Amino acid sequence: MRTFATRTGVRLPLLGQGTWEMGAADRASEVAALRLGFDLGLVLVDTAEMYAHGGAEEVVGAAIQGRREEVFLVSKVLPGNASRLGTIAAAERSLRRLKTDCIDLYLLHWAGPHPLRATLEAFQQLREQGKIRDYGVSNFDVDEMVAAEESPHGSGVCANQVFYNLGRRGIERRLMPWCIDRGIAIMAYSPLEQGRLRETKSLRRVAARHGVTPAQVALAWTLRVDGVVTLVKAARAEHVRENAAAADIALSADDLAELDAEFPRPQRDVPLDTL
């Protein structure tokens, strides 16, 4: 799996597994799907304390048993918990659910009521204690990223996880270049719009040329920019295999032009899309 080296030196695999909505139903199948993904090179796994009220972290904790060293583990703290002491307590709870002693990348899920300075201080303390290796943010637009950059310990922010796909291209105008120019990874969640991405004529034509599915083309499209890490959830084995294979699709200039025509980038700044 290709990787992107952030400004803190951490190398993020460019395609990983999401866990939104995991942990509430068939956990055994979800564990099996994650472990199959590891086998296929999808070793980055993203979760959060919010997902199924910690249930998704428990699923990930079961999946990584015996395989922790090969997995790049990402989790997130809820904004309401992100005071200095609250962040540390939340991280401790996540570590217990994940059955590990260290989270590779720990994110603030979105900007909330507590001062960002306090959250970053907690992140730095957790890093010094060896409980996290790196830290970042999620759902931050440019102005919020600038504020983070100017905060104490803001230079340690190495990733920003945001909503991005063919139909949600607003970040390409300002946020994406701002982050990537500074070595801050863009982590794209919901690259298939949670299964609702329009399967257009251009997607079908490009897919037919490559002998793949439209969903695989949509995933490959997000990977065309160095610095974008894509997170995709799959709970079924066939979908895990399809997702992993998308990393090997090389879209041509003609493919990209055809997709651009049907999914144009906004011509003006738009608010950051979130779920």
What are the residue ranges spanned by the domains of the chain?
3-262
Task: State residue 117 phi and psi, 5-degree precision.
Answer: -55, -40
pLDDT at 94: 98
pLDDT range class, residue 25, cuts 50, 70, 90: confident
CATH assignment of 3-262, given 1.20.140.10, 3.20.20.100, 1.10.760.10, 3.30.1360.10?
A: 3.20.20.100
The reply to whether the predicted model has a pTM over 0.85 is: yes
pLDDT at 219: 96
- Which residues have CB under 8 Å from 143's CB, separation 6+? none
- Rounded to whole angstroms, how far apart are CA atoms 59 and 47? 10
- Which residues have CB under 8 Å from 12's CB, separation 6+? 3, 4, 6, 44, 72, 105, 159, 185, 187, 229
Residues facing 18 on adjacent strands: 46
- Rounded to whole angstroms, how far apart are CA atoms 190 and 126? 28
The closest alpha carbon to 160, from 145, 174, 146, belongs to 145
Within 10 Å of residue 10's Cβ, how many Cβ atoms?
A: 18
Element (H, E) at 199: none
- When pLDDT is averaged across residues 76-87 and rounded to a whole number, the result is 98
Min mean pLDDT across 54-58, 105-109, 210-214, 271-275 is at: 271-275
Residues with active-site annotation: 51
CB 244 within 8 A of CB 41: yes
- When pLDDT is averaged across residues 94-104 and rounded to a whole number, the result is 98
CB 258 within 8 A of CB 205: yes
pLDDT at 24: 87
Residue found by looking up tokens 């100017």 in the block: 150
